[in-house]
Amino acid sequence: MYLRAVHAEHNIATLHQFIKTNPLGIFTTALESKSFPFIQSSHIPWVLDVDTSRDETHLGVLRGHQARANPQVKAMIEHLKSGTGDESDSRSDRQIISRDVMVLFNGPAHHYVTPKFYRETKPATGKVVPTWNYSAVQVYGRATIFHDSKASLTNAFLDRQIRDLSQQSEVDIMGHKDKPWEVDDAPTSYVELLRKAIIGIEIEITDIGGKFKMSQELSAGDQEGVVEGFEALGTDAGAEIAKTVREKGKLAAT
């Protein structure tokens, strides 16, 4: 991700909150394979764990799961069984992918920005061009894969994962604080059957970066024109962009 200084976000707490608010991340791997594409991506909702007891800043750990039938999963298991995986933990139920993986989280709104919004620069010089406003957080790390459905470690990881993800989604996303849906609401045999069809993924984050490209580089007059232009659209996306442009503009000014 190209992080121009004016658009870059370095505050780890802000980046963590972005992930928690936008948990659907694009999980990308690049693994040599004779059977599957080298680069593969999948949309996965994640749970973020952060150890706040550490003296130093903890970048966090992502937990997720994927369908065992997913070609990306098949490529990862093939990679591990080929002996190219990290043998620091050689148990079949828990192995580490030897290559870095990447997860990209996108913000809730993005939009084309017309030069017609630039009420200061456009009439003065005409030196304006279209662009696109968006926000994103990108993380890199090493992925531990739990893929042996008969192993107790895999079952324990998946049980915790699906319960935590359900709780997070029901309460934080749906707002069901009083009576959220719980895994135990479904028949045990049904849950067990579905659990055998997934694998677990745990990523220790080694690098994280964020980008809010929200017109911070513009003059105050042009920024106000962008805010007014998006508000005038009368859409949810326009309102979200206008709000973020105003917030990031104030931060950039200070």
- Residue 56 has a pLDDT of 82
Rounded CA gap, 85 and 72, in Å? 15
Full residue range of the structural domain in which residue 180 is found: 8-108+134-216
Rounded CA gap, 80 and 95, in Å? 7
- Residue 134 has a pLDDT of 98
Range from 50-54, 90-94, 98-102, 236-240 carrying the lowest mean pLDDT: 90-94
| Partners of 210 in the β-ladder | 9, 137
Q: Assess if residue 116 is contained within a domain.
A: no
Q: Assess if residue 124 is contained within a domain.
A: no
CATH code at 73?
Answer: 2.30.110.10
Domain tally, the chain: 1
Q: Assess if residue 37 is contained within a domain.
A: yes
Q: Assess if residue 227 is contained within a domain.
A: no
Predicted TM-score (pTM) of this structure:
0.92
Higher pLDDT, 55 or 103: 103
Q: Assess if residue 235 is contained within a domain.
A: no
| pLDDT one-digit tens code per residue, 132-151 | 999 999 999 999 999 999 99
CA distances from 187 to 173, 182, 193 (A): 24, 11, 10
Q: Assess if residue 247 is contained within a domain.
A: no
Q: Assess if residue 125 is contained within a domain.
A: no
| pLDDT one-digit tens code per residue, 151-205 | 999 999 999 999 999 999 999 999 999 999 999 999 999 999 999 999 999 999 9
Rounded CA gap, 64 and 76, in Å? 15
CA distances from 49 to 2, 154, 212 (A): 26, 18, 23
- Reading the block at residue 148, the tokens are 């042996």
- Residue 88 has a pLDDT of 46
Task: Return the ∠ at Cα 32 (arms to 209 and 37), rounded to 5°.
Answer: 85
Residue 93: band (very low, low, confident or very high) from pLDDT cuts 50, 70, 90? low
Higher pLDDT, 18 or 1: 18
Q: Assess if residue 103 is contained within a domain.
A: yes
- Residue 83 has a pLDDT of 76
